[in-house]
Structures are given as structure tokens and as C-alpha cells.
A and B are shown apart, each in its own frame.
Chain A
């Protein structure tokens, strides 16, 4: 009996195999144009996305440009160990986590609060004006934003003018380690607070008005209504955006850091991604910086999985 079912199974898989091949062949014939159309797209992904993924092997090699990727020697985990034991390691991990943590802690709720405030505005005209103005910085390039920041906090800049007025000594605030994080996080909020509200405002407009009426009848005040109706109404949106944000945490904004930082404040401003850029592209230390970049990606991915798990447990909202 068992033997019989085995042969039947065997037959089945054999059958399945041929049908898969036949199906693909048939599909190719039926959708010839489609498969021709997909060639450039597929090539794009293979070359520019999957190509670099295979390039990660240089993290485990001692890459020498003259010998090529395959000709270079394998060194296993050497670069990882080098990085983990280097004097930069803790500084970079600490800075990356701190900057991103502040960015998340203050930068993430900011658009939610703004959306809640805008939601309480009754004048449509005023609401539209605020939206138009606060969306705008989203379209200004990182170079210009960095330029404006450097100018405002410079020794002769506006912020120093104000500080000098109340009796402080003038100094370039971007040369003060302790101030980099506030400046960076603050400017991020300036850039993104308005743009971030769009999705929350849309979620807010989807809340059933009956709920507010019911709350009114129950005698709820404004804050009670926000707390018990509005916030629960947009909670799923908040959760999804938070998970996605955590998943990209280690990558956010590092291009702007490159524009803003300087060696004097590396002790608070240098993050893993900027270190990868310096070591990899400015000093051409390909293998080592690829290993560091991979380390960053692994942390990032673990954070994403963790955030997703926590959220699944707490609120049954998750990315997958």
C-alpha cells in the first residue's frame, strides 16, 4: 500500500514537473510581448539591485582592484572583527542609535500632533494655509537645507545674533558636539512635519462622525474626544508607519549628516552610514566598509522584525 502511494506520488511529481515546464512554455507563447516588455525591467533589477547584492561578497574578501572580486583572497569575518574591535565601533553605534532614537522620539509624533491640531481647526482657509506652508520644506533639497542651517547657526548667523542679544558668547554652533543632535533633529522636523500630516489627516477624515456625536452626548470634552475617539481611529495608521520607520531607522538622513558634520564633532555626529561613505569612497577601503555597511543593514533588518513582532502582539497590526 505504502509502496503504491509512493509510486503514485512519484508519478505526480513527474507529471507536475512536465506540466510546469509546459505551462511556462505555453505562457511564453501566449504572452510573448509581455515577456519581451519585461526584459528591460528585469535587466534593471538584476544589474542595479541584485548585482550589488552579490557584490556584498567583498565584505568577506580582501578586495584588490587589480585582481577583481573573484581574484581577491577570502578573509572570512576578518573585516567584521576588525570593525567590532575598532575604537570607532562604540562611538558609531552609540551615535547612530542616539540620533535615530531622538529623531524617532520627537520626529515621529510631531506630524501626529500637528494633524490633531489641524483637525480641530474649523476655518478651512486657515487649515489650507497652514498645510500649504508646512508642506513646502519637503521639496527643498538637502543641500539647500544644510546651507540654510550652516548659515543660521554660524558665528555671524541669526541664532547667534539672538544668543548674543541675551548675553551668550558667539560661536559656531555646528562646532559644538552637544548641539549637533538637536540641530539635526530640529531641522528634520522643520522639513517633514507638514508632509507627514497628509496621511494622518486622511485617516482622521475616515473616522465615523457618529462616534463624536456619541461622545458629545456622553459629555466628553475636547481632550477626552481626542483621546478616546480620534487617537484610536488613527492608531492602525500610526502603527504601520512606525514599523516602517523603524525598519529604515539606520538609513534615515545620513546624506544630510554628510553635508552638516565636520571632524570637530565626529564624536556625536558620525554615524555608521557616514563612516561607510568616508572609509569606502573617500579612502577607497572597499572591503572593510562593505562589511560595516552589511553590519548596519543587519541591525536595521533585526529592528524591523522586532518592531513588527511587538506590534503584532500588542495591536494585531503588522506589515506581514
Chain B
């Protein structure tokens, strides 16, 4: 492209617009952050835009950390993310490996069976019926029904298929089993794809709430997002506390809401810089279909 040094009006307008976009994108999150560390009484009295924390206290965070709902939710979410993503990666690479076989006689039919589900599904109610009658209200309802995301399976298959088949053939001639070929040759070669898949699946588990809402009954199994919904959207702090004695005045109740939101998004932001380099790759391989 042409490198003119002159700064035109267009450039100025463009930079201003983009800066404004960044500010509007960031501000809601900053507002929550500022509010969460503000002095409850000062915040309650405040009206209008918040440009910095009003006073400083981490009392709300201390209370949040003592809230059983948050700690239980956190541990459960960690469980769902770790176990769920492991199941996802295992099943997805298994399926991708089979579908990437070029000389498999039934390969086309298997691919068709898989692709068909991208366009047709039973819908909410029949899926609910099948899942709940098979798995009841156990933790498995959040792990098994989402074991494979078909889009991700296709992405992985595409990246497996890009590996020269001579590599696998020579390994097989040397006596390597299929499992060996998959785990020792293919998977190490597609590490970046695996990382992207882990990112997609992991974030999906972290943010998951709807399935938890419809399948789970036992509060001990609830993920963080479901408790978050109670605390933030339904303002049911007392119930979320499960009868634990924390003296929650109206002032701090408001602040606790913000602290809870922060607690749920901070881990994602902490790993954000490390995963950012995978974004472009993830979206691009996602765009390649078939």
C-alpha cells in the first residue's frame, strides 16, 4: 500500500472513531472494576459516570471469597473446564483421525453422518428429553452431550488431513499401531490446532450456564455462571449464600455484585494475553469447511 506521510482529515476522524470504540468497549468492564473496589457508601451516594474508584476497599472481594456459592461454583467450573475439555479433545481427535483416513471405505458415510448434524438437530426439547432420561441430573449432563462440537471436529480433520500421508504409512510399515500414529506422530504435529480447540472448548465450558440451568438440580453441582445469574441478575444473594452468616448491608450488597462479576472474568483476562496469538489462527481454520 502507498505510504503517504501526510496525515489527512480521514486519518484523524478514523483514529478518533476507533479510540471512541475502544473506550465504549472497555468502559462497562472498567465501571464494574471501579465499582467493585469502591467504598460502598460513597458508591451508593454517587451518580453518573465513574472515572476512578471511589475510595478503596477490597472488603467486597473478601466477602465474595467467603460466599459458599462462589467457592463451590468456582471449583465446579474448574472441574467442568478441565474434565470437559479433556473429554472434548480426546473425542474430537479420535473422530478427526478416523475421518481423516483417506482409504477408509466407509469414510464418506461417516463424514456424512457427522456433517448432517451441523444443519439438522432435534431441537431443545427432544435433546433435553434424551439427555435427561439417559443421564438424569448428574454432572455428566454438562460433559457428555457436548463431547464433540462438529465444527471443531471438521477443523481438526482438515488439519490432520494436511499432514502428508506418507509419514503415517512409513510409520505403519515400521509396525506402529493406529493409536501410536495418532498420539506420537499426528498430535505433536498439530499442536497449534489443539491449542485453539482447547481454547474454544475451555471458554465454552467456563461460560456455560444454560445446560446447567436445565439439567442440574443439586446446587453442589452448579457452575459459577449459574450462581452468578442468581447473584447478579436475580439479586438473590441470601439464597446463594446458603444460609452462611455474612452481614450484608444494602450498600455492600451492590458492591458484592460487581466483585462477583470481576471474580468470574479475571481468570479469562489473565490468560487472555497468552491465548491471543491463537485467535487469528482459530478463526481462519474455522472458516475452512469440508
- Please report A residues at the B interface, Cβ cutoff 8 Å: 23-24, 26-27, 31, 33-34, 37-38, 40-42, 44-45, 47-56, 58, 114, 117-118, 120-122, 126, 129-130, 132-137, 139-144, 146-148, 150-152, 158, 161-162, 164-165, 190, 193-195, 198-199, 202, 209, 212-213, 216, 222, 247, 255, 258-259, 273, 276-277, 280-281, 286, 289-290, 293-294, 296-297, 301, 304
Contacts and interface: CB of A to CB of B under 8 A. Distances in A.
B83 to A, nearest CB: 16
A154 B179 CA distance: 56
Closest CB pairs A-B (n = 3): A52-B122, A55-B126, A141-B207
Contacts of A255: 209-210
Given A121-B15, A141-B207, A273-B124, A213 B2 contact: yes
Nearest to A215: B2
Contacts of B28: 148, 152, 190
Contacts of B91: 40-41, 44
Contacts of B15: 121, 126
A209 B1 contact: yes
A305 B110 CA distance: 24
B136 interface: no
Nearest to A190: B25
A129 B15 CA distance: 12
Contacts of A34: 98, 101, 104, 178
Contacts of B21: 114, 130, 134, 193
Contacts of B283: 195, 198-199, 202
A199 B289 CA distance: 14
B124 to A, nearest CB: 6
Contact of A216 (B2, B31, B127, B264): B2
Given A146-B233, A199-B283, A222-B10, A140 B265 contact: yes
B113 A141 contact: no
B276 interface: yes
B226 to A, nearest CB: 8
A19 to B, nearest CB: 11
A113 to B, nearest CB: 10
Contacts of A58: 125-126, 129
A276 B130 contact: no
A202 B280 contact: yes
Contacts of A152: 28, 31
A180 to B, nearest CB: 16
A136 B270 CA distance: 12
A297 B130 contact: no
Contact of B2 (A48, A202, A212): A212
Interface in B138-183: 144-145, 147-148, 177-179
A2 to B, nearest CB: 34
B287 A143 contact: no
B49 interface: yes
B18 interface: yes
Nearest to A135: B279
A55 B122 contact: yes
Contacts of B98: 34, 37-38, 41
A144 B125 contact: no
B32 interface: yes
A293 B14 CA distance: 44
Given A117-B17, A136-B29, 9 more contacts: A24-B105, A27-B104, A41-B91, A53-B121, A143-B233, A144-B228, A148-B29, A276-B125, A289-B124
B47 A161 contact: yes
B232 interface: yes
A183 to B, nearest CB: 13
A148 B130 contact: no
B287 A199 contact: yes
22 contacts: A31-B104, A53-B122, A117-B17, A121-B14, A122-B3, A140-B29, A140-B207, A141-B206, A141-B209, A141-B228, A143-B228, A144-B228, A147-B233, A158-B31, A161-B49, A195-B283, A198-B280, A199-B284, A209-B1, A277-B124, A289-B124, A301-B120
A64 to B, nearest CB: 13
B233 to A, nearest CB: 6
Contact of B48 (A158, A195, A198, A222): A158
A216 B268 CA distance: 44
A130 B19 CA distance: 8
B144 A27 contact: no
Contacts of A259: 229, 233
A222 B105 CA distance: 55
